[in-house]
A and B are shown apart, each in its own frame.
Chain A
Amino acid sequence: MTAPIKDYLKRSTGFHAARWAEPVVCEMTGTGRRGIVFDDAPAPTLPGTAMRKVAPALPEITEHDALRHYLHLSQMTMGMMGVSLFGTCTMKYNPRIGERAALEHLRNLHPLQDASTLQGVLELYDNFSDFLCEVSGMDQFVFQAGGGADAAYTHACVTRAYHASRGELQQRDQIITTIQTHPCSPATANTAGFEVITLTLEENGYPSLEQLKSVVGPRTAALMVNNPDDMGIYNPDIKEWVRIVHEAGGLCFYDHANFNGVMSRLRARELGFDACMYMLHKTFGAPKGGGGPAVGAYGCAEHLVPFLPSPLVVKDGDSYRLDDDRPDSIGRVREFWGNAPQVLKAYAWARAMGAEGLREAADISVLSNNYMDKRLGEVRGVTRSNPDITVPRMEMTRHSVEKVTQDTGITIFEISIRMTDFGIDALWLSHEPWLVAEPFTPEAGELWSKEDIDYWIDVFEHVVTEAYENPEIVRTAPHNAPIHQLTTALDEPDQWATTWRAYQRKHVS
Chain B
Amino acid sequence: MTKPHPWMANSGGDAKQQMLAAVGAQDVEALFVQVPADHRMQRPLDLPPQLASEVALSRHLDDLMAKNETCADNLSFLGAGAWPHYVPAICDEVVGRYEWQTSVFGAPTSDHGRNQAWFEFTSQIGALVEMDFVGLPVYSWGCAIGHSVRMASRITGRKRVLIPAIMDPERLSVLENYCAPTEMERHIEIVTVAIGADGCIDRDDLRAKADDSIAAIYFETPSYHGVIEGNPAELCQIARDAGAEAIVGVDPLSLGLLEAPGAYGATIAVGPTQPLGVHMYAGGGVGGFIASPDEEKYAREYNTLNVSISQTRQQGEFGFGLTLFHQSSYGMRDEGKDWTGNSVYLWSLANAAYMAAMGPEGFAEIGRLIMARAGSAAQAINALDGASVDLSRPIFKEFVVQFADHDVATINDALRQRGIFGGKDITGEAGITGAAALFCVTETHTPDDIDRLVTALKEVLA
Contact = CB atoms under 8 A, between A and B. Distances in A.
B353 A66 contact: yes
B71 interface: yes
B289 to A, nearest CB: 11
Interface in A61-113: 61, 63, 66-67, 69-81, 84, 86, 89, 91-97, 99, 101-113
Interface in B9-26: 9-11, 15-16, 18-20, 22-23, 25
B107 interface: yes
A426 B372 contact: no
Interface residues of B, number: 215
Nearest to A35: B357
Contacts of B132: 497-499, 501-502, 505
Contacts of A468: none
Given A120-B67, A337-B283, A425-B111, A486 B319 contact: yes
Contact of B19 (A170, A267, A348, A368): A368
A485 B136 CA distance: 22
B103 A80 contact: yes
Nearest to B21: A371
Interface string B218-238: 000100000011111100000
A148 B107 CA distance: 22
Contacts of B74: 117
A258 interface: no
B192 interface: no
B433 interface: no
A425 B183 contact: no
Interface in A134-159: 134-135, 146-150, 152-153, 157
Given A52-B256, A70-B353, A77-B111, A102 B123 contact: no
A218 interface: no
Contacts of A26: 120, 123-124, 127
A46 B107 contact: no
B260 interface: yes
Given A38-B365, A483-B319, A498 B68 contact: no
Interface string B31-48: 111111011110011111
A428 interface: yes
Given A77-B106, A148-B341, A51 B61 contact: no
Given A187-B336, A417-B109, A335 B258 contact: no
Given A103-B92, A112-B78, A291-B345, A335 B372 contact: no
Contacts of B336: 183, 187
A55 B130 CA distance: 10
Interface stretch (B208-216, B304-312, B398-406): B304-312
Contacts of A215: none
Interface stretch (A243-251, A404-412, A446-454): A446-454
A416 interface: yes
A453 B320 CA distance: 29
B184 A160 contact: yes
B39 A238 contact: yes
Contacts of A290: 100-101, 103-104, 111, 114, 118, 345-346, 349
A382 interface: no
Nearest to B53: A352
**Residue of B34, B97, B281, B343 with most partner-chain A CB within 10 A:** B281
Nearest to B369: A41
A368 B331 CA distance: 30
Contact of A501 (B126, B136, B369): B126
**Residue of A73, A91, A196 with most partner-chain B CB within 10 A:** A73
Interface string B278-303: 01111110110000001010010000
Interface residues of A, number: 216
Contact of B352 (A42, A70, A358): A70
Interface in A376-396: 391-394
Given A134-B46, A193-B180, A236 B345 contact: no
B143 A334 contact: yes
A97 B52 CA distance: 12
A141 to B, nearest CB: 14
A51 B258 contact: yes
B84 A110 contact: yes
A323 B60 CA distance: 26
Nearest to B68: A120
B50 A353 contact: yes
A121 B64 CA distance: 8
A484 B312 CA distance: 6
Given A110-B282, A266-B41, A193 B123 contact: no
Contact of A134 (B45, B67, B140): B45
Contacts of A48: 230-231
Given A61-B359, A71-B94, A81-B98, A44 B133 contact: no
A24 B116 contact: yes
B93 interface: yes
A119 B68 contact: yes
A439 interface: no
Contacts of B46: 134, 355
Contacts of B462: none
Contact of B35 (A45, A266, A370, A373): A266
B100 to A, nearest CB: 5
Interface in A310-324: none
Contacts of B286: 334-336
Interface in A324-356: 330-344, 348-356
B52 A50 contact: no
B31 A366 contact: yes
Nearest to A18: B113
Interface stretch (B171-179, B379-387, B448-456): B171-179
B58 interface: yes
Given A50-B230, A97-B58, A290-B118, 5 more contacts: A24-B318, A25-B352, A112-B82, A160-B181, A447-B9
In the complex, the 7 A-B pairs of residues with the closest C-beta atoms, listed nearest first: A354-B50, A336-B283, A289-B346, A149-B341, A48-B230, A35-B357, A111-B283
18 contacts: A26-B120, A26-B123, A44-B372, A46-B394, A47-B229, A66-B353, A73-B117, A79-B111, A103-B96, A120-B66, A160-B184, A191-B339, A236-B34, A290-B100, A391-B33, A425-B104, A482-B113, A499-B132
